[in-house]
């Protein structure tokens, strides 16, 4: 009888383990999207513009290769005046207030530094990929050595760098541009409390983006050093910094990507660089743009 009971117990444990494994089956195309209509009429132009551009659909396509154990919702909604974005309980929320701040900070004219459309797209793609980084670290129980916010920044920047050269450069320039407000002056004054934040300072994040890009392709991004945007002493170690991130991505992310969808990923979905975004007349402060979880 004891032997029979032991066999039954093992069978029950095996069934339980099989059920848990089934519940955790990793599948691609697990991302849902939702545009939530804002209650504040002042945010309706943001809602209409991002829906018209099918921004969430494009992010959804970009994320299709991710194999996840359960569905992830990405939504945009009004946040009662709060300019922020976050991941929590299988949902990523990006506030229309945050997207509005990005929109307001788009330059009116194209310059040698940045095209208006890229100043819009770079931060927009970055905020979604950054929060997706938080989500997949949770879904995959990814071990992290260092601050999660830094890892989410690296996740976002690394994915941008995997696109075609032209699109990668445009997104990197736009991504870095969102932090540029803090590096226009050679001296930046900040309160000590700012250094307690889980995020790096805007200046640190700016140089981290440039360094990873230069480390990935010193030819494509060689002007970062030639122009003095990226200091030479930092640039010397950027290839190593990029290889660290690439190695972590290969070990921790690639095993959770669908290989066929990864190969089929459409790499030319940005609008032409001379596209002129619709204008928002009021311009927001840079620091409010940088507050996010």
Torsion angle, alpha carbons of 262, 73, 293, 239, to 10? 0
**Whether 178 contacts 105, CB under 8 Å:** yes
β-bridge pairing 72-77 and 85-88: unpaired
Prediction pTM value: 0.85
Describe the crossing of helices 44-52 and 55-62 by its angle, rounded to 10 degrees. Answer: 50
283 DSSP assignment: -
Measured distance CA(131)–CA(129) in Å, rounded: 5
Measured distance CA(138)–CA(68) in Å, rounded: 10
Measured distance CA(290)–CA(293) in Å, rounded: 10
> Would you write out the chain's pLDDT as a tens digit for each of its 293 residues?
444 444 444 344 444 444 443 456 899 999 999 999 999 999 999 999 999 999 999 999 999 999 999 999 999 999 999 999 999 999 999 999 999 999 999 998 888 889 999 999 999 999 999 999 999 999 999 998 889 999 999 999 999 999 999 999 999 999 999 987 656 556 566 666 565 565 668 889 999 999 999 999 999 999 999 999 999 999 999 999 999 999 999 999 999 999 988 876 656 678 899 998 888 865 444 344 444 44
Measured distance CA(147)–CA(199) in Å, rounded: 8
> CA angle, corner 289, sides to 189 and 77, nearest 5?
155
């Amino acid at each position: 009888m004891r032997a029979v009971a032991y066999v039954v117990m093992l069978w029950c444990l095996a069934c339980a383990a099989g059920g848990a494994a089934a519940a955790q089956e990793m599948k691609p195309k697990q991302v849902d999207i939702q545009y939530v209509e804002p209650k504040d009429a002042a945010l309706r132009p943001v809602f209409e513009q991002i829906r018209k551009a099918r921004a969430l659909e494009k992010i959804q396509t970009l994320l299709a290769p991710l194999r996840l154990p359960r569905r992830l919702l990405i939504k945009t909604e009004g946040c009662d005046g709060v300019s922020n974005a976050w991941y929590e309980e299988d949902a990523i929320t990006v506030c229309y207030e945050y997207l509005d701040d990005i929109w307001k900070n788009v330059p009116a004219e194209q310059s040698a530094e940045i095209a208006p459309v890229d100043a819009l797209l770079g931060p927009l793609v970055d905020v979604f990929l950054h929060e997706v980084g938080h989500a997949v670290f949770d879904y995959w129980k990814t071990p992290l050595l260092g601050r999660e916010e830094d890892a989410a920044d690296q996740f976002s920047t690394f994915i941008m760098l995997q696109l075609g050269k032209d699109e990668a450069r445009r997104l990197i320039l736009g991504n870095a541009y969102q932090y540029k407000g803090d590096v226009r002056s050679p001296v930046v004054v900040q309160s000590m409390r700012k250094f307690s934040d889980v995020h790096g300072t805007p200046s640190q994040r700016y140089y981290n983006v440039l360094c990873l890009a230069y480390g990935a392709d010193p030819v494509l991004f060689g002007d970062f050093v030639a122009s003095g945007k990226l200091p030479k002493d930092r640039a010397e170690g950027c290839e190593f910094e990029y290889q660290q991130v690439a190695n972590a991505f290969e070990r921790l992310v690639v095993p959770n990507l669908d290989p066929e969808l990864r190969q089929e990923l459409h790499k030319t979905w940005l609008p032409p660089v001379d596209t002129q975004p619709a204008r928002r007349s009021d311009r927001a402060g840079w620091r409010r743009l940088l507050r996010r979880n």
